[in-house]
Amino acid sequence: MDYQFSFPYIWGATPDLLDGLWITLIVSLLSIIFSVIIGVVCASLRVFHVPVLSSVAAGYVHFIRSTPLLVQIFFIFYGLASLGFGLSGFWSGVLALSLWGGAYNTENIRGGLSAVDKGLKEAAYSLGLRPIHYLRLVALPIGLRVCIPALLNTAVSVLKNSSYLQAIGVAELTFVAMDRVAMDFRTLEMFLAIGLIYLVIVLLLSTAVRRLETFLKAPFNTA
């Protein structure tokens, strides 16, 4: 064992790591936002049994959950390119992660929406509200609050799974680390460093979401 752990090496790699971190954050943020939107739309289609579209949503969820994410990423990056719909690595990555997270969020939000008391739907309908108003003004505000922990879980997974994008050459955090390792063989330093960086951003994300949850649930607490 004559491997010498080198903190100065990590320090020297910081500018590269920050570039990678930036890409990781942007890709993840976009994907998390899109995955929640996809989840809201597909879960609503499922819960309201919208003809045809409900089955399409169910099939989409099933497909995404039954295939490996890496295969989905390759399919979008290489597969679509061969059909003439080539996307950049960045946007292929955002699309793949959004669809992946969207499938899980569909199930998360579907769970949240079915947890909304059936009596509230009857109350809303008896007041003459349209189904879309019931959905937007009653079911989603309540149902989304219920599934915040599940949404956070999926958001964390999306963030961590952004490291798969190194396989299609997106210069995110893991890609940068692999790149440095290929040049300098400082495996221990690099992977420890990015591991800690992922840990810190997940902790920050979790704390922020938990604060949000407490804030949003305040009106539900009995005085």
Partner 1 sequence: MIQPPLINVSGLCKEFRGGIRALNDINLSVNRGEVVVILGPSGSGKSTLIRCINGLEETTSGEIKVEGKSLAGNSERKWRNHRLEVGMVFQNYALFPHLNVIKNITLAPLRAGVLKKEEAVQEARRLLELVGLAAKENSPVASLSGGQQQRIAICRALAMKPKAILFDEPTSALDPEMVGEVLSVMRRLADEGVTMICVTHEMGFAKSAADRIVFMDKGEIVEEAPPQKFFSAPESDRSRRFLDLISSHHG
Residue that is written with structure tokens 């949000």 in the block: 212
Q: Among the candidate windows 52-60, 135-143, 157-165, 181-189, which touches partner 1 by CB under 8 A?
A: 135-143
- Judged by CB under 8 A, the residue of 141, 196, 200, 207 near partner 1 is 141
- Check residue 221 for interaction with partner 1 (CB under 8 A): yes
Q: Please, what is the minimum distance in Å from the beta carbon of residue 149 to partner 1? A: 17
Q: Between 66 and 222, whose beta carbon lies closer to partner 1? A: 222
Helices 89-114 and 53-66: angle between axes, nearest 10 degrees:
120
- Check residue 126 for interaction with partner 1 (CB under 8 A): yes
Q: Between 146 and 170, whose beta carbon lies closer to partner 1? A: 146
Q: Among the candidate windows 53-61, 98-106, 115-123, 197-205, which touches partner 1 by CB under 8 A?
A: 115-123
Q: Between 8 and 128, whose beta carbon lies closer to partner 1? A: 128
- Check residue 199 for interaction with partner 1 (CB under 8 A): no
- Check residue 222 for interaction with partner 1 (CB under 8 A): yes
- Judged by CB under 8 A, the residue of 50, 129, 150, 205 near partner 1 is 129
C-alpha span between 107 and 47 (Å, rounded): 10
Cβ count within 10 A of residue 182: 8
Q: Between 85 and 220, whose beta carbon lies closer to partner 1? A: 220
- Check residue 133 for interaction with partner 1 (CB under 8 A): yes
Q: Between 210 and 217, whose beta carbon lies closer to partner 1? A: 217
- Judged by CB under 8 A, the residue of 79, 91, 145, 150 near partner 1 is 145
